[in-house]
Amino acid sequence: MGRMTEEWLEDQDCGWRKSDKHVCPRCVDDDYLRKLVRDDLSACACDYCGRRSRSPIAASVNVLLEAIYPTVNAYFNEPNDAGVPFDEGEYFVEPWSIEEIFESFCLEERPELLQDLVYADAYDDGRAPAADGHWASSHEHDLMMGSWQHFAHTVKHETRFHFANMPPSESGEPGDINICNWLPTLAKQLRPMVVTLPVGTEVFRARVRWPKEHWSPTADQLTAPPPAKMKAGRMNPAGIRYLYTAFDRLTAMREVGVDRSTVDPVYVASFNLTRPLQVVDLTKAVRLPSVFDLAQKGRRERALFHYGFVREVSKRVVKDDLEHLSYVPTQVVCEYLAQVFNTTSGERLVGLIYPSSVHKGGRNLVVFPSQEGLNEGFHGATFNGATRRRLKRAAATA
């Protein structure tokens, strides 16, 4: 067997052709790939930007290929090897070109470098999306999101309180989560999001005094309504008091529909925490490892699910006669967090921080009812007074 044949077989084995070029860290955009280059400098010139030095400033492009193409193989596979059905001269799933795959990875490098990375592909016929090598399998975050969608559909349209006799989701994949285990599985995912809000934390709640209403901005008017008047909200069922607040005045006003055209009086109440509160913070930053860092693939999958889940539970809901149905899944989740979930110290959670759906960058805090009496109070969130506000002034001082 000749050397050319051996090299061709090696390329087919790993899925990419070796390169004799060198690249410097400045020519690589992805942080993880840039670190690989920086840690393996071996040449004194970069073939892409032309920079030269007496000491090594560039690494072999093979350093990149050794990270990029195993990642390609982890997410895609040759259609035949992936088991893609073939009928009448076409695959059931159209193969992706390497350019499309790189685009899905958000691989954005210098045009010359990207061209060489594309040229290194040993498979000219494309690859099919495949998890664990099979076209019909799903990655962990897709399974988790699919299980959440199944859970949400079930509690909205099939059953709300008893899951024991519910069939599994339609996908039937090995990683599917039985609906009875969904809430404990979600709680495990959320455990790293538990934070403690310190004493003295200030939060805000707004209320508009509409025409023909006559009330004073006192604590009983600006805290949560009494149970008989408590409407269903994003996190609470009708009749169960949750205290909705925001971390700034502007977000609090936006949450009750105040805009620059609002002419009716708007009162913004301030609340201070008189004791530390342990809450789940869905706005807490979660590091998303590079797709090319396969050693961190599990962490990346969990991070992708986290961000997808947060988008789902905080998305804007159209106000119509059925909007309460859209809130049912998050209501069930919150009731589980309030009454079942325990922190690592054995304490109950007392609230949830989530992004505002109506004010970009705004953060909301919903405080669960106190366990001493579900309708009696809100864990030391104490009314601290209220002021009348207009949106323009609030935007400048919030």
257 and 362, same domain (yes or no): yes
pLDDT at residue 29 in the model: 93
Query: Six-digit token pair at 118?
Result: 């594309």
The secondary element (H helix, E strand) that includes residue 392 is helix 391-397
23: β partners: 59
pLDDT at residue 251 in the model: 96
Domain assignment present for 242: yes
229 and 367, same domain (yes or no): yes
Which residues neighbour 124 within 8 Å (Cβ) at sequence distance 6 or greater?
none
Domain assignment present for 272: yes
Domain assignment present for 161: no
Is residue 315 very low, low, confident or very high in pLDDT (cuts 50, 70, 90)? confident
218 and 330, same domain (yes or no): yes
Distance CA 312, CA 143 (A): 15
Tell me if residue 22 falls in helix, strand or coil.
strand
122 and 209, same domain (yes or no): no
Domain assignment present for 171: no
Domain assignment present for 185: no
335 and 239, same domain (yes or no): yes
Distance CA 323, CA 244 (A): 18
Last residue of a domain, one of 129, 149, 166: 129
Q: Which tops the pLDDT comparison, 292 or 122?
A: 292
219 and 313, same domain (yes or no): yes
Q: What is the pLDDT of residues 104-151, one digit of tens each?
A: 999 988 899 999 999 999 887 889 999 988 998 889 999 999 899 989
Domain assignment present for 82: yes
For residue 202, give the nearest of 279, 277, 272, 275 by alpha carbon. 272
Q: Which tops the pLDDT comparison, 262 or 292?
A: 292
Residues of the domain holding 40: 3-129
Tell me if residue 136 falls in helix, strand or coil.
coil
Q: How many domains does the chain have?
A: 2
Domain assignment present for 177: no
Q: Of 80-89, 212-221, 371-380, which range is least confident?
A: 371-380
Q: 């990875």: which residue's tokens? A: 105
Distance of CA 263 to the CA centre of its chain: 37
351: β partners: 279, 367
* Residue 323, phi then psi, degrees to nearest 5: -65, -25
Q: What is the pLDDT of residues 75-84, one digit of tens each?
A: 999 999 989 9
Q: What is the pLDDT of residues 130-140, one digit of tens each?
A: 998 899 888 99
pLDDT at residue 64 in the model: 97
Distance CA 113, CA 59 (A): 13
Q: 């706005």: which residue's tokens? A: 283
Query: Six-digit token pair at 139?
Result: 């990655």
345 near 231, Cβ under 8 Å? no
Q: Is the pLDDT of residue 7 over 70?
A: no
Q: Report DSSP letters for 222-253, one per residue.
A: HSPPPGGG----SSS-TTS--EEEESSHHHHH
161 near 332, Cβ under 8 Å? no
Average pLDDT over residues 264-284: 95
85 and 212, same domain (yes or no): no
Q: Is the pLDDT of residue 15 over 90?
A: no
Distance CA 265, CA 58 (A): 65
110 and 239, same domain (yes or no): no
In the chain, alpha helices (H): 3-14, 31-38, 62-75, 79-82, 98-104, 111-119, 140-157, 182-190, 219-222, 249-255, 297-314, 323-339, 391-397
Last residue of a domain, one of 129, 146, 179: 129
103 and 245, same domain (yes or no): no
* Residue 106, phi then psi, degrees to nearest 5: 55, 40
36 and 122, same domain (yes or no): yes
77 near 15, Cβ under 8 Å? no
Angle at 354 between CA 300 and CA 207, to 5 degrees: 165
Distance of CA 254 to the CA centre of its chain: 23
Q: Report DSSP letters for 84-124, one per residue.
A: --EETTEESSPPBPHHHHHHHTT----HHHHHHHHHTBS-T
pLDDT at residue 378 in the model: 83
10 Å Cβ neighbour count for 341? 21
221 and 348, same domain (yes or no): yes
Last residue of a domain, one of 76, 104, 129: 129
Domain assignment present for 199: yes
pLDDT at residue 342 in the model: 85
315 and 393, same domain (yes or no): yes
